[in-house]
Structures are given as C-alpha cells and as structure tokens.
Amino acid sequence: MPSKFTIMLIKIYEDNPNPKAIQQAIDVLRKGGVIIYPTDTVYGIGCDITNQKAIERVCQIRGLRPDKSNLSFICYDLTDISNYTKPFDTAVFRVLKKALPGPFTFIFNASGQVPKLLSSKKKTVGIRVPDNNIVREIVRELGHPIVTSSIHDEDEIIEYATDPELIYEKYQELVDMVIDGGYGGNVASTVVDLTTGEFEVVREGKGDLEEYL
C-alpha cells in the first residue's frame, strides 16, 4: 500500500537526537503512519500501537498475518512494560532492570490490553527496550509504545538491511518515514521466553543473557 505522506528520509544522531526531527516522526505516527528506525540491533519497522490500520500496514509490508504475527512493542523503560504484561516476580524484575535497555526481546504473558490493541487472541507479547536514544526518545515523546518488527532482505534469511539509504530506496513506496541513524547491525535481538517465569532463550542474538542472571 503506497504511503499517504510525502516519504521522508531524515537524519537523526543518536548521541543528541534533534527534538524537531523526533517531533516529525511523532507527527507521522500520530497520523497513522509507518516508520523505519534504528535500534541497538537491526533496523525496525513500526507504528503507533493504538492505530489498527497502521498495524495492518506493518503486517502487510512484512507479509505477516495480524492475528498470528509475533509483533513486539518497543517501550521507553520498565514502567511501560507492566501495562502490557501479566504480573511477574521480583527476581525477573531484577534481571530486566540490569539487562534493559539492551539487545533483548522478552516474551511475557500478555495483559488483557494487548489483544485489544492487536485485534488478535494472542496470549503473549514481546517487549523491547532497545539501547538506542532515537527510538526510545520517539516512544517517550509519543507517550506509549510502538509496534515493531525487524526488516530484513528477503533473499537472505538472516541478512538484515543495514544501510539506511538502501533501506529508503527499497521501502520509499511503502512507508512514510525512514530515519537514518547511521549503519544498523545485522544481528537481531536475543529472544527470551518468560511465560513460565523461567528465563528460556529461544533465539540467540546480540544479547548475552548469562551476564545478567
């Protein structure tokens, strides 16, 4: 589906994100737009979690079914997480506090809020707090999380797109903004399942969980 905005490629520096540029990204999200942005691992594609049509667009671009997709939420910090997950114990909280922000996706049992947001029957939710000032600042200023999915090249299963200008060339007809935050990584986040209350690594990625246990 073509973008309804004039597609923008904007440069934002992670060390000192320009508030005006951050506001531009927020304006796009609030109008139901889809953006591509850097994280501490690979570039991600996402939208406002409260906009159903935008979530459907993200799924369409990524070739996912909204009701079955493993979309994650990017939160600003641990305060946000409890709104979307069922309660978890103090031992888990202590590890999260040490590991986040960082290159992990933690899978929790979802609170009742999540199926409403995603129009699905999903009982779990992936939560990310990336160690990247650009996307965290966007989420903080927006006031709630964004839905996120990694972007990667179809011809290489694990080859994630790293060059923002090439990402822009590829996605300019599909999304509303690409944020150039410098070269991205090509190693995805480590995925950790917490649904049983234990830490179970289901995908090894950039983060080493052992450092925080």
pLDDT tens track for 22-58: 999 999 999 999 999 999 999 999 999 999 999 999 9
Residue 160 has pLDDT above 80, yes or no: no
Q: Across the chain, where does the E strand assignment appear?
A: 8-11, 35-37, 44-48, 72-74, 104-109, 124-128, 146-150, 177-180, 190-193, 200-203
Q: pLDDT at position 69, please?
A: 72
In the chain, % of residues over pLDDT 90:
77
Whole-angstrom Cα distance, residue 141 to residue 53? 21
pLDDT tens track for 163-205: 999 999 999 999 999 999 999 998 999 999 999 999 999 999 9
Q: pLDDT at position 155, please?
A: 55
Q: pLDDT at position 2, please?
A: 47
Could you write out the DSSP letters of every residue in 141-165? HHTS-EEEEE-B-TTSSS-B---HH
Half-sphere exposure of 129 (CA within 13 A, CB side): 16
Residue 80 has pLDDT above 90, yes or no: no
pTM: 0.92
Q: What separation in angstroms does the CA of 58 have from each of 6, 9, 83, 87, 99? A: 18, 18, 22, 28, 28
Confidence of residue 158 (pLDDT cuts 50, 70, 90): low
Instruction: For residue 98, count other CB atoms closer than 10 A to its CB.
Output: 11
